[in-house]
Structure formats: C-alpha cells, structure tokens
Amino acid sequence: MANHLPFGKRVRFYRERRGLHQWQLGELLNRSEDWVYRVESGRVPVNNVKMLADLAEALRVHVEDLQGVPALLDDRDSHKGSIPAIRASLMQSRRLAGPLYDTREPLRLERLDVEVDGAWSLFQNSEYARLSERLPALLADARLATHEHSAGPDRVRALTSFALTCHVTAAFLRKLGETNLAWTAADQGDMAASETADPAIMLALRRCVAHVQLGAGMAAEAVNATHNATADLPFGWWKTSPVALSLYGTLFLNGAVAAARLRDRSTADDMLGRAHEAAERLGTDANEMWTSFGPTNVEIHRLALALEFEDVQNAVDIAPGVRPGRNLPVERRARARLDVARAYGEAGRTDDAAKHLKRAFTTAPEQMRAHEFARDLARRLSQRSQRRDVRELALSLGALK
C-alpha cells in the first residue's frame, strides 16, 4: 500500500500503523520530534543507510519497506516476471533434478565459461532486463555442470562457474532489494567456492557474502565477514597477482562502508587504507574478475564514506576528483556520478547535483531507477528547482507520480 508513496510519507504511514506519535518515534531514534516531522514532510533526506536501518527497526518493518518498490520493477522494464524464475532456479535441490533440468543438455565447460562472462558483462553494463532473462537458465546450466562433473579439474571448473553465477545473481538481486533471495544465491555460491579450494574464488564469494549482508542492514556481520575472509588466505597471497590485489581491495572497500554504517571511523579508515594500498600496488584501474578495482574505485568509496559520515564539506572537496573514465564499467561510472550528485545535493548546490544525477541516469537508466538514493535526490531537487528538465528527470526516475 505504501510502496508508491514518497519516502517521508512511507515513514508516516508505518509510524501511524504502529500507533506512534512523532515525538515517540523521535525518542526511539534519539532524535527530536521536529526532525521526524521534517523527514515525513520531505524536508530532511535520510541518505545514511545506518539511519535508514534504525528507522526500519523502530517502525518494525524491513528496510525494503521504507525504500519502496524499486522503479526498476515498473512495467516499463521487462524483467518483472523473471524474479520467480530466478527463485525457482536457486531453490532446485543439489541432488534431485527438477523441471528445469528434465530436458537440458549439459553445456560444455568452455561454453559455460562464456555464458558466465556474458552475465557479468550485462550486470556491469547495467543491462538488467537482459540479465534477468538469462540468469534462470544460466543457474540451471551451472548447477547441472556440477552434477555432471564429479571429480578432477573439470569438477573444480564446474564449481567455479556455479560459484561465479551465484555471485552475479546475488549482486543483481541485491540491486533490486531482493536481499533474502540474494542471500540464498550468495550462500550457495560460497559453498561451491569453498569446495574449489581456490583462494581467488573463495575470496570473491566471501566478499559477495559480506556485500549481501551489508545490503540487508547487517553491517556488523559484514565487517566480521571481511576480517574472517582474509584470515584464511595464505600469507602474502593478496600481493601475488592483479586478481589477488583486486579481490583483496574490493573486499576492504565493502568492509569500509560497512564499518562506516556502524559509525566506526577507525575501522573504516583502516579498511579504506588497505584497499588504497592494494590499488597503489595494482597501479591502474582494472576489472579483474569483475571487481572494477583500482585507484578510481577507491576514490569513489572515499566519497561514499564521507557521505556515510555526513561530512558534507569533505564530500564536496572529494567530488571534483572523482572522474570515472570509460575504462570503468557502466555500473561503476553511474554510481560514481550518483554519489557526486548526492554530495552537491547535500551542500545545496542544486544545479550541480542535477547535472551529475542526469549524467548518472543517462549512463545507466535501469540502475538509477532501481536506486532509492537516486529517486530521493531527484524528488528533493524537483522540490527545490523550477527547471523543467529537473522535473522530467524525477519523472523518468520514478521519483514523482
């Protein structure tokens, strides 16, 4: 019922459903009654994920309830019906072949590798409709490969393909706010990765687990998962190759954001420092094992941390230096532009915020329509500005009805 309301009205809807006055909700959050009023009236944004999680807990709802249904799932995008098929693929027993496998011919492992690469390419190019169409069959094919190959190098290769398929599935579902289903994918991928005994695959899926935990509001668990992931690595392994550096660095970028959401600046700075060291050793922006890792991604996360800590001036100072080049995947470029727009929006620089939000939307429209921060920023900008293009942008993002 509340899904298509603006954020503030959703807060009011769930507050009233729980029978709370504004002052009572404020007390639960250690905030004033006036702050709650301004949130509900749309005058104060809640861009901090920790506060979003605290609001959800106080109102006894899920974070996804406060965020509303992502506009990505509107009828204009064609993959709304793919989520049940993805769920069915993930729920297939490892031992009993279900209807997805009854008439399937096993793919050659070489072909399966190509299909996995293709899925990651679609994800990083923010082509979510095409990706959602492919994932159910790819999950079935990858799982079938683990049935077909029971030992030796081919077994490891099949498990690797299944783990990486689960990884991209989890990343995609997290984008949609389907955190429970994303957890199922991450958990299955993590188990397959463990069986490969390959440090790179295991670290990739450990990072996937932490990423889903972070998306589910489980920041403390994500920090712990980050620390535990590196504890199992061979000594010095992370320095041995571009892949190792990229996986290690990306793990700690996610961990830094998780620590920031716990208001643990020391841990956040330490983890960002580890990622920075890995990026310095790597020396360039790369995309090893679909990590988009390098110096630019570290700067993107430095900006994200400033926003998490509500350090607006620092965010504005960092923003001009965040220049994602075309060598970065579309997904990273769009997210960088969104965070730059958020920084300028928080500083009251409406025109600058609108310019960068428009660039983010042009870069990856499906991704931005799925993002609550993008929709919320567009809604606020449309309230501040009389410009026609700003209102049209908000309409395109699904921020206005």
What is the distance between the alpha carbons of residues 72 and 79, in angstroms, rounded to a whole number?
A: 9
Q: What is the mean pLDDT of each run of 10 residues along the chain (401 residues)?
A: 68 84 87 89 76 82 66 46 83 53 77 96 93 93 93 96 98 89 96 96 98 90 96 92 98 96 94 98 96 96 94 95 90 96 94 96 92 89 91 90 73
Q: Give the DSSP letter of residue 400.
A: -
What is the distance between the alpha carbons of residues 113 and 73, in angstroms, rounded to a whole number?
A: 29
Domain ranges of the chain: 1-68, 82-185, 198-309, 330-401
Q: What does the DSSP assignment read for 299-315?
A: HHHHHHHHHHTT-HHHH
Q: How far is CA 221 from CA 224, 228, 271, in A?
A: 5, 10, 15
Tokens of 249: 């660095």
Q: What is the pLDDT of residue 71?
A: 42
Amino acid letter, 302: R
- Is residue 363 helix, strand or coil? helix
Q: What does the DSSP assignment read for 366-396?
A: HHHHT-HHHHHHHHHHHHH---HHHHHHHHH
The CATH architecture annotation of domain 1-68 reads Orthogonal Bundle (1.10)
Q: What is the pLDDT of residue 97?
A: 40
What is the distance between the alpha carbons of residues 146 and 155, in angstroms, rounded to a whole number?
A: 7
- Is residue 278 helix, strand or coil? helix
Name the residue with tokens 């609550």: 372
